[in-house]
Amino acid sequence: MRSRLPAVAEQLFRDIQKTYEDTSQIPDDLLIALKFVFGPCALQALDLVDQRSVTCLSSSSGRKAFQVIGGSGHLYTCFVSCHYCPCPAFAYTVLRRNEGLLCKHILAVYLCQAIGVTQQESVSDQQMSTLLSGTVAP
């Protein structure tokens, strides 16, 4: 994702990426930092990472989007270039109360990208349009 994050969060993802490349794990100090910056959704996001819940969808036009399988099995489509998730936590905590930077699904996308465990899947252009619009196919 290329969306604007606070510098501390961007640095944290860079540190996680570099450390994971060297050691194939995320050390405790970075996990604590993750919890400090993102609050309780950090642990939930790490659960999603463990379950390999993040898939990068691509269509033949070149358009990409992330799809995250939530804890309840729901599928959430998140955008590549800006922060949006159709989950209730994003609507309430991030948009309405302005109390969090991200929801656990978007955080899981960042973490999966950082440690390189994002699944890949191809979809048709029409399927991509339907997923992006969040509507049923006409």
Partner 1 sequence: MSDILTVVFRTFMSHTGLKTDLAADPPPPAATTRSALVVGDHSVSRSVLLLAAVTAASHLGLRVMFFTRTQIQSLPASLQKCVPSLSPESLKVQVTPLPNCGTVEELLHQIASLHESTNTSPTPPSLIIVDRLEGFLRGHSELHPGEQSCAAHLSALLCDTAAFLTQVLEKRPSSSGPCRVIASFRSQEDAGQAGGEASATDPVLDILDRYFQVRCTLDQDRGYEAAAAGLQQVWNIYLSGRGIADASDTKDCEDRPAEAQEWQLLIYPDGLMEFKVV
**Angle at the Cα of 133 from the Cα atoms of 110 and 83, rounded to 5 degrees:** 25
> What CA–CA distance (Å, rounded) separates 130 from 70?
19
Least distance (Å) between residue 90 CB and partner 1: 8
Least distance (Å) between residue 123 CB and partner 1: 12
| 124: three-class secondary structure by DSSP | coil
Q: Which residues bind partner 1 (CB under 8 A)?
A: 2, 59-63, 79-84, 86, 90-91, 95-96, 125-126, 128-130, 132-135, 138
> What CA–CA distance (Å, rounded) separates 70 from 74?
5
Considering the complex, state which of residue 35 and residue 63 has its C-beta at the smaller distance from partner 1.
Answer: 63
Considering the complex, state which of residue 53 and residue 59 has its C-beta at the smaller distance from partner 1.
Answer: 59
> What CA–CA distance (Å, rounded) separates 68 from 79?
11
Least distance (Å) between residue 38 CB and partner 1: 18
